[in-house]
Structure 1
Amino acid sequence: MAKPLNIVFAGTPDFAAKHLDALIHSQHNIIGVYSQPDRPAGRGKKLQASAVKQLAQANDIAVYQPASLKTPEAQQQLAQLQPDILIVVAYGLILPQHVLDIPKLGCLNVHGSLLPRWRGAAPIQRAIWAGDEQTGVTIMQMDKGLDTGAMLYKQSIDIAQDDTSDSLYQKLAQLGPIALLSCLEQLDSLTPERQQDELANYAEKLSKQEAHIDWQQQACQLERNIRAFNPWPMAFFNLVVESNDDPVAIKVWQAKVVDMDISQYVPGQIIQADKNGILVATANQALLISQIQVPGKKAMPVSDILNAKKSWFETGKILS
């Protein structure tokens, strides 16, 4: 068994908190926690502590929340903790080289992809969006680049055909802490592996504009988009309910590809709407939408929506 390490942990959301919790219950010593400053949240816009900060405080661990780690004051504060290692999970702040040089054993990052594939901000979502069959977590030595450091440890999982970003996020949030503890256990014997930059790609952030369904795309891509953009920003299409009204946004929660001849339809045209769902033509096949959310309501099966709003989805209607 490796000797206990004095660890400083840096992270912000629930994904990071799960890793911190595993470290707290391990043999290692958590001597300090860094998290982003409290942010306004909820209807009242009251300042709310991050999941990582709340967990640290519940376990009487000192919390530091600098707005930046680029100042001499913030760097001196970290140096005074004298960490053996700094572990970073979804922290959200850039670590300058001087910070990377402070811990005796360097800085490790837990990243939610199989690097060098999907460097960047949205690796979980992009893996689904691209139709990848596998993803996982990579634990790497941090350098000044964006997810470019040498890799120490990987664990992979299959992406299920019905996985959304939310369900895959939950799976990786369980896998990541296990991988992290295994990596720390073997730290002395692991050989860093340089990433092959020619195999790298970038996981660009999602946007609401990208979530707007383009019926000119192929059905398989739209089905992946619907899963990748769940729970945010949620794939949607605009629907004109009354001729004089502005379109309303209909969020799509669940759909599947239907292989059929659509040559007589144009992309976005409703082929059929019944208890099975709303069947819509795309660029090559049809998409059967089975769960949607209309403004002011929660997500519901299409069969329930049609009971009250069947006129919204008349056969032959062309969606935006």
Structure 2
Amino acid sequence: MHSFILFTTSDFGHMAAEYLFDHYEVKAVVTSTPKPKGRHFKLEDINTVKKAKEKDIPIIYIEKSSQIYEKIKDIKVDYFLVVDFAFILKKNVLDLPLKYPINIHPSILPKYRGPSPLHFQIIDNVKKTGISLIKMNEFVDSGDILFQLTFELDEWYTFSKFYDLMQYYTSFAFEIFVKNIELFYPQNQDEKMATYTRKIEKKDAFIDFQNEDASIVVGKIKAFEKWPKVKLKIEDDLLVLLDAKIDENINIKSGYLSVKEEGIFIGCKDKTISILKLQKAGKNQQNIMEFLNGYRKRFYEKKIDMEPIL
């Protein structure tokens, strides 16, 4: 039976982790030290770590990359499995497994390398995506491809829906790979085709509706649904825009907001978008008709204040 150390600092790979725990020898899980949460500042593990503890798998907590080598150097394992891990693994760590370290990345590498592949695939409205398993090296997501699972997308997903979908396919791809692990041979990535993502910042949620194309605006609203959230003011109401679509049947002047009986529309540089889902500050999420049914002003149009709302 193959042995592993799992490296993860989020629950993105929890389905793959549970399959790993149930079918292979996992000698340790390396994760970040939990931070205080909630009103009582309780320390709480991610769900993957909780499941590992149920299986009596040792947990190794770290606070910085430099701690990793000393904490795991004496653990003999065949493979590392790295899924959404917030720390850099240096070469001396990557050289430790008896066979090689494996990273799971939610894109068709070499496209969308880096920390935010889900966000930027949503912004770009990709029609085809996939899960890549690579043999890790010390460079960002540039290791040789071991296995890729690709599939078509049938809709333009919000972040939460896309996250759930990619969690499932991450587990599915890993199961296919690990059952046949001896059959896969590393293939070089084509560096000329590489694209990179960056860490999402709070300021990314500011949208210049007048000067950005509708497709980009819709992509940002969908991608930033969980964080940092695109915000807009209508009179005294601060609204978080959670989903939208391009509306070919409405023409609103670029940079203007229009509240009509049939919806809320925003004119962008080239086309008009229609808001599908939103949330008032301190309230539950609502689809557009639920919001309009309780909105006091049904007919309203004005130029959007372009001051950033962060």
Cα deviation for residue 186 of structure 1 reads 2.5
CA separation in 1, counterparts of 2:255 and 2:43? 43
CA separation in 2, counterparts of 1:318 and 1:302? 20
CA 1:185–1:278: 2 relative to 1, 3 Å? same
Specify the code of the residue in structure 1 equivalent to 2:242: W
- The DSSP-based 3-state class of the residue aligned with 1:35 is strand
Cα deviation for residue 189 of structure 1 reads 2.4
1:96 and 1:144 in contact (8 A); partners too: yes
CA 1:175–1:301: 2 relative to 1, 3 Å? closer
Cα deviation for residue 261 of structure 1 reads 6.8
1:87 and 1:109 in contact (8 A); partners too: yes
1:213 and 1:237 in contact (8 A); partners too: no
1:41 and 1:48 in contact (8 A); partners too: yes
Cα deviation for residue 194 of structure 1 reads 1.0
Are 2:274 and 1:288 aligned?
A: yes
Cα deviation for residue 53 of structure 1 reads 1.5
Are 2:59 and 1:70 aligned?
A: no
Q: TM-score when scaled to structure 2?
A: 0.91
Select 2:13's aligned residue among 7, 13, 16: 16
Partner of 1:85: 79
Cα deviation for residue 91 of structure 1 reads 1.6
CA 1:304–1:178: 2 relative to 1, 3 Å? closer
CA separation in 2, counterparts of 1:179 and 1:307? 44
Select 1:96's aligned residue among 90, 96, 104: 90
Cα deviation for residue 277 of structure 1 reads 1.2
- The DSSP-based 3-state class of the residue aligned with 1:215 is coil
Specify the code of the residue in structure 2 equivalent to 1:136: G
2:158 and 2:243 in contact (8 A); partners too: no
Which stretch of the first structure deviates more once superposed, 81-90 or 201-210? Answer: 201-210
CA separation in 1, counterparts of 2:64 and 2:256? 50
Select 2:44's aligned residue among 42, 48, 73: 48
Specify the code of the residue in structure 1 equivalent to 2:120: R
Query: What's the Cα RMSD here?
Result: 1.9
Are 2:268 and 1:268 aligned?
A: no
Uncovered stretches (5+) of structure 1, i.e. residues with no partner:
242-247
Are 2:218 and 1:223 aligned?
A: yes
Cα deviation for residue 273 of structure 1 reads 1.5
CA separation in 1, counterparts of 2:182 and 2:149? 19
- The DSSP-based 3-state class of the residue aligned with 2:283 is coil
Alignment of 1:205-284 (within 5 A): 205-216=199-210, 217-241=212-236, 248-260=237-249, 262=251, 265-274=252-261, 276-284=262-270
- The DSSP-based 3-state class of the residue aligned with 2:233 is strand
Specify the code of the residue in structure 2 equivalent to 1:251: V
1:89 and 1:109 in contact (8 A); partners too: yes
CA separation in 2, counterparts of 1:249 and 1:215? 17
Instruction: List structure 1 segments (4+ residues) > 6 angstroms apart after TM superposition.
Output: none
Q: TM-score when scaled to structure 1?
A: 0.89
CA 1:267–1:310: 2 relative to 1, 3 Å? farther
Alignment of 1:121-270 (within 5 A): 121-216=115-210, 217-241=212-236, 248-260=237-249, 262=251, 265-270=252-257
Cα deviations by residue, 1:43-87 (Å, 9 ceiling, x for unpaired) = 33322112222111011111111223424xx42431221011111
CA separation in 2, counterparts of 1:298 and 1:212? 22
Cα deviation for residue 206 of structure 1 reads 1.9
Partner of 2:302: 317
Which stretch of the first structure deviates more once superposed, 118-127 or 9-18? Answer: 9-18
- The DSSP-based 3-state class of the residue aligned with 2:175 is helix
CA separation in 2, counterparts of 1:215 and 1:306? 22
CA separation in 1, counterparts of 2:126 and 2:166? 15
CA 1:90–1:300: 2 relative to 1, 3 Å? same
Cα deviation for residue 314 of structure 1 reads 4.1
2:205 and 2:229 in contact (8 A); partners too: yes
Select 1:118's aligned residue among 112, 118, 122: 112
CA separation in 2, counterparts of 1:37 and 1:117? 31
Specify the code of the residue in structure 2 equivalent to 1:257: I
1:69 and 1:99 in contact (8 A); partners too: no
Cα deviations by residue, 1:228-254 (Å, 9 ceiling, x for unpaired) = 11222222223343xxxxxx5311122
CA separation in 2, counterparts of 1:10 and 1:181? 17
CA separation in 2, counterparts of 1:240 and 1:105? 61
Partner of 1:244: none
CA 1:289–1:80: 2 relative to 1, 3 Å? same
1:119 and 1:203 in contact (8 A); partners too: yes
Are 2:54 and 1:58 aligned?
A: yes
